[in-house]
Amino acid sequence: MVKRLLVVLLALVVTLAVASKLEVFSWWTAGGEAEGLQELFNIYSKLYPGVEIINATVAGGAGAQAKAVLKTRMLGGDPPDTFQVHAGRELIDTWVKTGFMEPLTELFISEGWTKVMPKGILDIISYNGEYWSVPVNIHRANVLWYNKTIFEKYGLKPPKTFDEFFDVAEKLKAKGIIPLAFGTKDGWEAAHVFETVLIGTLGAEGYRGLWTGKTKWSDPRVTQALEIFAKMLKYVNPDHAARTWDEACALIVEGKAAMNIMGDWAAGYFMAKGFEDFGWTLAPNNEGIFDALSDSFGLPKGAKNRENVIAFLKVLGSKEGQEAFNIKKGSIPARTDVNKDLFPAYQKSAMEDWLKHEIVPSVMHGAAAPESWVTEFKDVIALFVARPDVKTTQKALISIARLHGMPE
């Protein structure tokens, strides 16, 4: 009898243990990304040792492959328990308006997040008077990274303007160094760089207007951006089509390339590789502008392990979680009450800039425009890399904007 009871009890324990899972879906596999995610898992596992975390990653920067997999799963009624999604249009247009998510307003109030997260961030996760995802960071897209030793060796100053950029690039090229590391393997990286060039020619207000109809895509400053970008492409590594964003960063670590323009997940990558010789400045002509995006996680309807997700979201939004994650990730916390002293020099400078610079939403990383527009935009710019025809490309950009209801 006792034996039978024990067997039943054991079976129950095993069932409970097996049932207690948490599937976290993201595209964080590269250096810095994986380390940041692991920090969150470590905190969670300490609090909930009985829950098995399923780290469901689909490699490919900016969600190049993950987003398609996610769509198939969501539409097929098999949502992951929680998934990475950019705050802003990507979250709201793709998943909230379509009715796939549960609101998280109660959690925001009980955890006190409305008091410690900036209004700008709370606004872009809001819809219909509710909050819909938990932002874990703020990333900056418009950074120019450089190899300090190379710059020192040739007596170069990090460029601040387009003219300075081309001047430095020409000098580096003459020395046999790749001026601008570039990787276009996943199809989004060129659009990422081009976004910063648009900011450079249009300024904060002009760039913002592209996504609201206030700036026309036929604007001569868009033409100028395409011309500048075409010129930049003359200074990149010829094997860019075979490299991902992190493999492009590797050229800087190896001292083969001097600069690249990438989001500050590149800082996470450099740190994960133990590379301390990187410097940073803003992308050319981006002075005083913070091109921002935020990674967040939500609760899809039908999540199999709802309670575990809520517990995970609490970790994501906690001070401890945001500190541990962002130190490794290269981003800054979405919470403003963190201990700044814990952070590396790059993030300290980004925290200061966040407060004093003008914020614009990143298009390539889901903040500025609906996902369908982003996809078309990135494809046109990827094509431009292969065939830098300014006129045809601007026409294509104009017609894409028209499709999304923008005036010509």
Residue 71 main-chain phi, psi, to 5 deg:
-60, -45
| Partners of 164 in the β-ladder | none
Could you tell me if 327 and 342 are in contact, meaning their C-beta atoms sit under 8 angstroms apart?
A: yes
Query: Is the CB of 144 or the CB of 396 nearer to ligand GAL?
Result: 144
For residue 281, what are its two tokens? 């400045």
Cα 110 from Cα 348, distance rounded (Å)? 29
Q: Which of 67, 89, 139, 185 binds ligand GAL (CB under 6 A)?
A: 139
* Number of residue whose CB is nearest ligand GAL: 61
Hey, is 85 helix, strand or coil?
strand
Cα 120 from Cα 10, distance rounded (Å)? 50
Q: Which of 131, 194, 229, 265 binds ligand GAL (CB under 6 A)?
A: 265
End-to-end Cα, the chain, rounded Å: 81
Minimum Å gap between C-beta 33 and ligand GAL is 5
Query: Is the CB of 222 or the CB of 262 nearer to ligand GAL?
Result: 262
Cα 308 from Cα 147, distance rounded (Å)? 43
- Measure Cα distances from 173 to 35, 182, 259 in Å: 34, 15, 12
| Part of the chain binding ligand GAL (CB under 6 A), chosen from 58-66, 68-76, 91-99, 280-288 | 58-66
For residue 205, what are its two tokens? 């207000």
Which class for 77: exposed (0-12), middle (13-18), buried (19 or more C-beta within 10 A)?
A: exposed
Minimum Å gap between C-beta 243 and ligand GAL is 14
The H or E element that residue 17 is part of is helix 2-19
For residue 300, what are its two tokens? 């899809």
Query: Is the CB of 33 or the CB of 39 nearer to ligand GAL?
Result: 33
| Part of the chain binding ligand GAL (CB under 6 A), chosen from 60-68, 121-129, 205-213, 319-327 | 60-68
Minimum Å gap between C-beta 110 and ligand GAL is 27
Residue 121 main-chain phi, psi, to 5 deg:
-80, -45
Q: Is 179 in the site for ligand GAL (CB under 6 A)?
A: no
Q: Is 194 in the site for ligand GAL (CB under 6 A)?
A: no
Q: How far is CA 329 from the centre of its chain?
A: 10
Q: Which of 61, 135, 158, 298 binds ligand GAL (CB under 6 A)?
A: 61
Query: Is the CB of 87 or the CB of 177 nearer to ligand GAL?
Result: 87
Q: Which of 172, 202, 283, 293 binds ligand GAL (CB under 6 A)?
A: 293
Task: Please list, in sequence order, all residues whose beta carbon lies within 8 angstroms of the beta carbon of residue 12, skipping any fewer than 6 positions away.
Answer: none
Residue spans of alpha helices (H) in 117-218: 119-124, 148-153, 162-174, 189-210
Query: Is the CB of 92 or the CB of 396 nearer to ligand GAL?
Result: 92
Q: Which of 191, 365, 381, 385 binds ligand GAL (CB under 6 A)?
A: 365
Minimum Å gap between C-beta 60 and ligand GAL is 8
Site string for ligand GAL, 211-250 (x = CB under 6 A): ----------------------------------x-----
- Return the residues of window 13-52 that contact ligand GAL according to CB under 6 A: 27-28, 33
Hey, is 407 helix, strand or coil?
coil
Count of residues that interact with ligand GAL, criterion CB under 6 A:
14
Q: Is 374 in the site for ligand GAL (CB under 6 A)?
A: no
Minimum Å gap between C-beta 188 and ligand GAL is 8
| Number of alpha helices (DSSP H) and beta strands (DSSP E) in the chain | 18, 14
Cα 65 from Cα 195, distance rounded (Å)? 21
Q: Which of 39, 81, 219, 295 binds ligand GAL (CB under 6 A)?
A: 295
The footprint of ligand GAL (CB under 6 A) covers: 27-28, 33, 61-63, 86, 139, 245, 263, 265, 293, 295, 365
